Amino acid sequence: MSQILDEIRDAYGRMGIEVEGIATYGTYYRLRCGRCAAPIGSVGDKLLPGMAGQIVNEQFELYARGFLGCKCGYQAERARSIDPQRAQAAARLG
């Protein structure tokens, strides 16, 4: 269990999201903004190895455009710093 939780923390941490405390029944964890600590949602630990990173990667454009993440804009900033060209292409989508 700890290995998958570490993978989840690494995947979301890349986007400036902290995974903390158990939200319910030991299988869901709270997601908070790494800058302002605002609650963003929750994530379950019933993922297969590699899924957390894939999920966050597939949602990159949504973070880059500010559709996912905190209202303070930290995840959009992180997306731009991680991959400026991909973030810029996402901004042109809409």
Whole-number Å distance between alpha carbons of 10 and 53? 8
Residue 90's pLDDT is what?
93
pLDDT classification of 94: cutoffs 50, 70, 90: low
Is pLDDT above 70 for 1? no
Mean pLDDT, rounded, for 47-70:
95
Instruction: Write down the pTM of the prediction.
Output: 0.90
Rounded alpha-carbon distances, angstroms, from residue 20 to 11, 14, 48, 53, 67: 13, 15, 19, 17, 22
φ/ψ of residue 65, rounded to 5 = -90, -5
Mean pLDDT, rounded, for 30-39:
97
Q: Three-class SS of residue 65?
A: coil
Mean pLDDT, rounded, for 37-57:
93
The mean of the pLDDT values for the chain is: 92
